[in-house]
Structure 1
Amino acid sequence: MQQRPLGRSGLAVSRLALGTMTWGRDTDPDDAAAQLKFYLDAGGTLLDTADVYGDGDAEAVIGSLLDQLVPRDEILIATKAGLARGPHRRRDGSRGHLLRALDASLRRLGTDYVDLWQVHGYDPQTPLEETLSALDHAVDSGRVRYVGVSNFAGWQMTRAATWQAAYPGRAPVVAAQMEYSLLERGIERELLPAAAALGIGVLPWSPLGRGVLTGKYRNGRPADSRAASEHLAAFVQTYLEPRSSSIVEAAVIAAGGLGVSPLEVALAWVRDRPGVVAPILGARTAGQLQGALASDRLTLPTEIAAALDDVSAISVGYPEREGTGKAPQAGAY
């Protein structure tokens, strides 16, 4: 599998990452082991998790598999912190919460460092400088190699990155983990251009549109699907609407012409978008992961990629359009 630099850093990662949101909850340890083995055999190197996945169980599963399947120094581990556990899951970017969460993550993972540590969301109640000071301390202490953000707006990411770049010795922001797929292209308005200018690599989560781009929901909701799951139904419902259906049909048609699956088409599209480093594959079973890994062999023909761009295009207006060089609308001033 091709390796790509993570932003403007010396860290190279495989162009497909393995996500673990379901590990320890919907994916048991045996199936998690099978997923990790398939991923490693395919040349994958980046394993993504978070302290809140399965209330910590995902990290614990990873820790139990490290010695069994892969030496620690042959896998890159990315985790996240910044969501407070509880019924409301408030974002907590305070220095105390983040550093306690990091220590707990390291214990569950059974390692003394993580390769990439990401703030899971912007916390408006904590000064950003305080949040970023926790990242600096984590790197200075050797517990973290690189840092990033997740689910930040474009201006929030830019503020964080420029603050870190303003003083020598601060840990640079090298990654932004964001939702990005044919069904969700909102980051193209501001965040992607900002990331390109700042040297930040984008790690798309839910590159299959929360599973909808597999085509499995074209004729209903399978009983074993996320849309039929009590805790994930609302997560999927967002994309079970007419606009999404038309994009899914376009992916199905493209897949038929290429002799591949719709999910391979969707993954290949997002994988090769400008600024993208590694889409995160969030399979529930080993079989699903094998299908997703097959996308590594696919490069979309230019005409098909352009057609998918058109059918999934989002509206871009003022002020983003001003930076494209296109003429303003009539009457604009």
Structure 2
Amino acid sequence: MKYSVLGPTGVRVSRICVGTATFGVAPSAHEADGVVGAALDLGINFFDTADVYGSTSTFDRPGAPPAAERESAEEILGRSLAGRRDEVVLATKSGERRFDPDAGLSRRYIIRQVEQSLRRLSTDRIDLYYAHFPDPNTPLEQTLAVYDDLIRQGKLRYVALSNHTAWQMTEALWIAGERRLVSAPVAAQVMYSLLDRSAEKELAAACVRFGLSIIPYAPLHGGLLADLSVLDRPIAGGKRYGGPGYSNAEIAVARQLDQLAREWGLGMQQVSLAWLLSRPAVASVIVGAETADELRANAAAADIELTREQLDVVSALTAETAS
């Protein structure tokens, strides 16, 4: 496993990060132990979760236990890491408003969620804590101030922003500098893949300029950039279980990528992830593996170095979406 330094922290994180959004569904709570164990054996030291993962209905699938009866992803991950907590960089987040009308980035809400996450994760500190989504009702100064307090208390080590724009990230850095906060945001988590390159329009340049890391999620675009068999999954409510509905243009790109991967003797998901890992400021890519074998296949991408010619060919498939 290869590693990158996370923004300006000096902390080394594996280039593959295990995402836990579907923990409790796929993998099940029992199977998650095997996925986490396989990750540690592979040298993966970076795990990503959130206060709403696992126990919400977002990732329901046929046969899955009802959301109200499931453990949260944080609880499952905390148990799976028992005895090995010090080996990993643990990231979680709060502030997603879809499931709780009181959610946001206020001082009251953040303090409550941090305490609950610490309990669910069975730990005394969180290495990287994200503001999950922007909160239009709370000044960014308040959010960063409470993060600063929690860092000084030793409950958080570093903070970052998720799903924020380049100007919001720049504003956060300016506020941290003006207020002389102990830690400014060190990374940006954002949806980013070959089929969604919107992060390259402004955010990537800002992260390069200020020395922040990008941590992409949904790097395989709901599975389409991993295996074309995802197109055969049943559709319900406009979405495939485990992935969104796809446009004809997206499917055409995926078919071209699949052909290239076959010609190069690689897996489609490995080319997708290796390409993303080559992009400026990208430190680690979040993958949501359902099984240990799937994780091993994805993790191999960290050791694949595509040639400049190969990278250019892949980039050209969706060049217009990055302009």
Tell me the CA shift for residue 137 of structure 1.
1.3
Please say if residues 8 and 186 of structure 2, whose CA atoms lie closer than 8 Å, have aligned partners that are also in contact: yes
In the alignment, is the contact (CA less than 8 A) between 1:25 and 1:54 conserved in 2? Answer: yes
Task: Name the TM-score, length of structure 2 as normaliser.
Answer: 0.89
Tell me the residue number matched to 1:221: 232
Fraction of identical pairs, as percent: 34
Q: Which position in structure 2 is the counterpart of 1:32?
A: 32
Selected match of 2:243 from 236, 248, 255:
236
Which residue identity does 2:30 align to in structure 1? D
Q: What does residue range 131-280 of structure 1 map to in structure 2 within 5 Å?
A: 131-217=143-229, 220-223=231-234, 228=235, 233=240, 236-238=243-245, 240-280=246-286
The C-alpha deviation readout for 1:87-118, integer Å capped at 9, x for no partner, is x7675111111110010000000001010000
1:59 matches 2:59:
no
Match for residue 105 of structure 1 among 117, 121, 141: 117
TM-score by length of 1: 0.87
8 Å CA contact 2:213, 2:283 repeated in 1: yes
Which residue number corresponds to residue 287 of structure 2? Answer: 281
Letter in 2 for 1:12: R
Unpaired runs of 5+ residues, structure 2, are: 56-70
SS at match of 1:118: strand
Q: SS where residue 210 of structure 1 aligns? A: helix
CA distance in 1, matches of 2:313, 2:199: 20
Distance in 2, matches of 1:127 and 1:32, equals: 37
Structure-2 residue corresponding to 1:330? none
Number of residues paired by the alignment?
308
Write the deviation string for residues 67-96 of structure 1: whole angstroms up to 9, x where unpaired.
2xx52111111000112463x767511111
Report the equivalent of 1:77.
90
Q: Alignment partner for residue 306 of structure 1, among 308, 312, 319?
A: 312
Q: Is the 8 A contact 1:185 1:314 kept in 2?
A: no
Range 130-139 or range 293-302, more displaced: 293-302
SS in 1 for 2:10: coil
Contact 2:92 2:129 in 1 (8 A): yes
- Aligned partners of 1:285, 1:200: CA distance in 2, in Å? 31
| Cα contact 1:211–1:236 (8 A) shared by 2 | yes
**In 2, Cα distance between equivalents of 1:18 and 1:29:** 15
Instruction: Pick which of 35-44 and 158-167 moved more.
Output: 158-167
Q: CA RMSD in A?
A: 2.1
Is the Cα contact below 8 Å between 2:197 and 2:321 reproduced in 1?
no
Cα offsets for 1:160-212 (capped at 9, x unmatched): 12211223343211011001100100010111101111111000001111211
Change in 2 beyond 3 A, CA 1:209/1:89: farther
Quote the residue 2:67 is aligned against. Answer: none
1:205-241 CA-to-partner distances (Å, cap 9, x unmatched) read 01111211113347x3235xxxx46796388335x11
Secondary structure, aligned partner of 1:236: coil
Please give the alpha-carbon distance, in whole angstroms, between the structure 2 residues aligned to 1:74 and 1:270: 26
